[in-house]
Chains A and B, each alone.
Chain A
Amino acid sequence: MNCSAVRVRISGQVQGVGFRPFVYNLACRLGLRGEVANSPAGVELVIEGDESGLTRFQQLLWDELPPMALIEQLNSEPVPLSYFDSFKILPSAKGEVSITATPDAAVCPDCLAELFNPSDRRYLYPFINCTNCGPRYSLIKALPYDRTNTTMSAFDLCTACLSEYNDPADRRFHAQPNACPDCGPGLSFTDEKGHFVKTGELHDESLIAAATLIRAGKIVAVKGVGGFHLICDARNADAVVRLRQQKQRPDKPFALLGLNTESLNTVVQLDDNRRQRLQAQDAPVLLCPWQKETSLDTENRDLIASGLNWCGVMLPHSPLHFLLLHQLCGRPEASDWLESEQQPLLVMTSANRSGNPLITDNQQALIELRGIADGFLLHNRDIHIRCDDSVVNGLSDSMPIVRRGRGLAPQVIQLPQSGPSVLATGAFFKNTICVTKGDKAYVSQYIGDLDNPDCCHSLSEMVNHLIQLLDVVPQQVVCDQHPDFFSSLFARQFAERHDLPLQSVQHHHAHIAAVMAEHQLSGAVLGLALDGLGLGDCDQLWGGELLRVDGRGTERTGRLSSLLLPGGDKAAAEPWRVAAGMLYQSGQSDEIDKRFHYAGVATVKQMLNQHINCPQTSSAGRLFDGVAALLGLCSINSYEAQAAMQLESAALSYVEQYGWPECEPLLSAGVATDVAADSSTIDSADMTLTELNLATLLTTLSEIEDPLYGAALFHRQFIDGLGCWVFDTVQASGINRVVLAGGCFLNQLLLRGLTEQLELNGIEVFSAGKIPCNDGGISLGQAQVALQLSLPANRQNSNY
């Protein structure tokens, strides 16, 4: 037989995901010989055998890849024969492990089958997992990813588990969280006062207790993979009302948990695309349109996502959640029930008091959730790294990520360039941090809003954790331009303490750079940032900007015309104030107190008249808020972006029923008049600052009676107006690549509409996909800008 040998080097997410046993089993199946080992870059293997076997091997390597593995790069080269007599997995030596930490993954089909197989030794065991599934990132204290470096180190493997762990042919070979009822973690249940409920068969009794409470319309705190959830019966209106009251969360939508896509399809519209996304291993919350006729009462529907025509849904992501549903379904036997439609539908919301980080610790849960939860379903596998549920927008085919958390963190982004390690500390809301190593950026999970002290502590811990995990020493620090964010303060202190250079990056520049990083764009682009608020040059409040961005920096070429914010930040919480500013600007001050009957309305009028604490802004986010209030859709935000979401929802409803409203263009772009305060960071600036004038549109909207029509008209006009404006700027600048960035692009009508428009005109359009388009992506953008600016000058022909 004609034998030959190849060496294959693979990088990517290939450690701790059962990659070596997969290779071992594949080689054995094909009768090939050789060896495989972990390497600093990933995995390296040498394989010998006949030509056809080798070809087949390299084919099946891709086809049968373990579910959690991700190959980024694969190089193979012929090598001389070593005449191996078998195939071996070599143990990994220290220093041979790559830096990749793998995200947590939902339970795999094999484990699920075992979970409900009465003859399996892990029958109904809530902590079943294997190399293809289970917790990862949330357990990791340090790398290399070994059991001793995880919170599983508290449990000694029993003989049976140990032999699985050591057997290369086993699905649990080197599965670090491997466990069974004899040796692994267990469940417990306490009542609302934190008293342990005495139980015989612990797992069963705890689950029964939790299910009993849920059935009775109570609220149960359940410790999941990345933190605690509060769970109640979504079909019980009283229970949902109580949860809202207890959590002091009047309107913010809740996510729903159903056993399978069949069950969820009775409430939201699931096409194949959405089904697949729900069933992926990151098991995110997916935003989907409500069914026209849902199996939920209308009352409950409104309680869950008031004013919105979509809802977040998710499938169980851990064996524990399957077992809870199993109880609620009346403990059906065999496994048919898993495939068929089931009645139980649960509200599943992260367990924390408003604004505080997700709770991960049993003791903390018992204290902080006292008075909210009626019972606690606990376990003793510690959560080291907090991870909220990830959120994905299923309203659009591209399914962009809204929030990166469990299953998606840590995220590795391949950057368009390499450079010295950067630490980027993000913005204020939805904070994430980012650390780069070489040409890769590691973006942390969603940390939270930095008006909360615990989230600030989390940020500080996350920096240490990520640096340690990646084993890097940052060479520079980068933060937002706003001096008062904790992230900026932290960056200043970190840079001082470690004697590192610090730079700040303008908020919207960072938004655009994040998309550029994700798509590996270098060279010049035109960026349209439609966002909430970010501090621009000269302390201006930006948020609707056209920026020219390249490796050397940014130049502002256009902006939305100004809105007024009576009361500053207060206007973000109370969209009626923005609407009052719009009415004032269009000479309709009289209308203000006719439309809005809040206690402060007289003062707000006076503030507008006398320019007291009424900063100007070009923010698109505030535009959406103000229009929603102007149309009477939402005057006060009880959660972030409520008004904007209700405006989008109203437009969707109108368009679905009647199509887009037709009307002559109400927006026009022109040269901005008051440009004195505007500055640029590129000295070759010869473009004029343009402005998209909103006045006519806003006056028209203020006279519209039907809010749904108004919402649709606003969207149509805004999209068309932006389209023309951007097109003109493309023409003038000769830059044909446009990046759409900023939180407003969570609005799928806007994103889709504008993308279509621009593409029709032959413009190349890029938007966020892997990284949220909102402030969750800022840290990546900051890192990207810092890296580019740190490149040697000759590679940029600039004077930086």
Chain B
Amino acid sequence: MAHGSGGKAMAQLIDELFLQAFSNPWLDKMNDQACFSLPAGRVVMATDSHVISPLFFPGGDIGSLSVHGTVNDVAMSGAVPKYLSAGFILEEGFALSSLKQLVESMAHAAEAAGVAIVTGDTKVVERGKGDGCFITTTGVGVVPEGLNISGDQVAVGDKILVSGTLGDHGVAIMSLREGLSFETTIESDSQSLQDLVAAMVEVVPDISCMRDPTRGGLAATLNEIAQSAGVGMQIYEAQIPVKPQVSAACEFLGLDPLYVANEGKLIAFCPADQAEQLLAVMREHPKGRDAAIIGDVTEDSLKFVQMETTFGGKRMVDWINGEQLPRIC
């Protein structure tokens, strides 16, 4: 990968790479924009910049991650994701073979999620000014009639569900980055959730809210919603799915899986009387096999998220400003 003079040929090469991998009627027109029409309904748009080290990890790479991240953000509104744009910032010297691998992985992920990458852009920066490859994706989707899914819809009495095990992504990345070896390799859970969401909203259109607990994990997401909806939450440690190897790794490292990032899980809130039904739908779907009802939305003037521990005690699952600082006194 070259930058500046002589980079022109390279840029062309890259463009061809993208064209080939993402090929679709909009991109193939080679305009500076994509022009498309959307089915009826409210249009949803989300954008996310992806920066991750290492770029390749067990269970995925930055290419597929950049599709999953944005597709999931769009899907959390209940929308069907349709189109993506992709912006690349590449560091001078980044291996073309690696780029090819990433792009192919993106194309696969997009195809699996039923979205087309319809427009894009690439910039190459000087060596040392980037970390190999950064990818920004923007997604557009359409919300089917009759859905109103949003943080402020969460109400006292709602049940809280998660679609699967927590902490996989964060622990996988950290283990790889630090060269930590555990008995079994922990894989990232990076995946797109639009099909799981579609199945869920079809059966339970009354879902109040969905979120993907990415950075800051379950804890940060629940606190955000508690604040915005003005409610408290009570979750039960015994009900929260965590893979034994993730749990053990967290234990060793001194991490709390509730605060660790996920890239292929969602949290859903729905009225209590529909929770079992929703759970059943989720569990039928391959991406929700380990789904669980983990708690309740409660009335709480202080908007606490609290957890009943497996020992029957209670614990704050509180808000953390930035990095987790030790606080045991």
Contact = CB atoms under 8 A, between A and B. Distances in A.
B179 A610 contact: yes
Contact of A456 (B304, B325, B327): B304
B180 A603 contact: yes
Contacts of A355: 313-315
Contacts of B328: 429, 532-533, 569, 572-573
A539 B316 CA distance: 22
A428 B321 CA distance: 16
Contacts of A572: 326, 328
A532 B324 contact: no
Contacts of A573: 328
Main secondary structure of the interface of B (DSSP, over half): loop
Contact of A452 (B181, B312, B315, B325): B315
Interface stretch (B61-69, B111-119, B251-259, B268-276): B251-259
A571 to B, nearest CB: 7
B258 to A, nearest CB: 13
B312 to A, nearest CB: 5
Contact of B253 (A482, A483, A613): A613
A356 B181 CA distance: 38
Contact of A569 (B180, B315, B327): B327
B321 A570 contact: no
A451 interface: yes
Contact of A531 (B251, B304, B318, B329): B329
Interface string B229-267: 000000000000000000011011111000000000000
A600 B251 contact: yes
A427 B329 contact: yes
B253 A539 contact: no
Interface string A539-580: 101000000000000000000000001111111110000000
Contacts of B252: 567, 599-600, 603-604, 607
Given A354-B311, A483-B321, A567 B254 contact: yes
Contacts of A567: 252-254
A533 B327 contact: yes
A398 interface: no
Interface in A442-459: 450-454, 456-457
A489 interface: yes
Contacts of A704: none
Interface string A352-370: 0111100000000000000
Nearest to B249: A603
Nearest to B307: A453
A17 to B, nearest CB: 36
Interface in A585-624: 599-600, 603-604, 606-607, 610, 612-613, 615, 617, 621
B302 interface: yes
A527 interface: no
A703 to B, nearest CB: 28
Nearest to A598: B252
Contact of A568 (B249, B315, B324): B324
Interface string A447-487: 00011111011001000000000000000000000111110
A602 to B, nearest CB: 8
B314 A484 contact: no
Interface in B273-329: 302, 304, 306, 311-316, 318-321, 324-329
Interface residues of A, number: 53
A353 B316 contact: no
A599 B327 contact: no
Contacts of B329: 427-429, 507, 531-534, 621, 743, 775
B32 interface: no
A453 B317 CA distance: 9
B321 A484 contact: yes
Nearest to A573: B328
A450 B316 contact: yes
B302 A452 contact: no
B145 interface: no
B303 to A, nearest CB: 10
A453 B327 contact: no
B327 A428 contact: yes
Given A355-B314, A599-B248, A606 B327 contact: no
A395 interface: no
A613 B178 CA distance: 11
Given A457-B302, A567-B253, A567-B254, A354 B327 contact: no
B311 A484 contact: no
A541 B279 CA distance: 44
A428 B315 CA distance: 13
B254 A484 contact: no
Contacts of B181: 606
Contacts of B253: 567, 603, 607, 612-613
B254 A569 contact: yes
Interface string A484-503: 11100100000000000000
Interface of A: 248, 353-356, 427-429, 450-454, 456-457, 460, 482-486, 489, 507, 531-535, 539, 541, 565-573, 599-600, 603-604, 606-607, 610, 612-613, 615, 617, 621, 743, 775
5 contacts: A353-B314, A452-B313, A507-B329, A532-B329, A600-B252
Given A456-B302, A567-B252, A621-B329, 10 more contacts: A353-B312, A428-B329, A489-B318, A568-B324, A569-B326, A573-B328, A603-B180, A604-B252, A607-B253, A612-B178
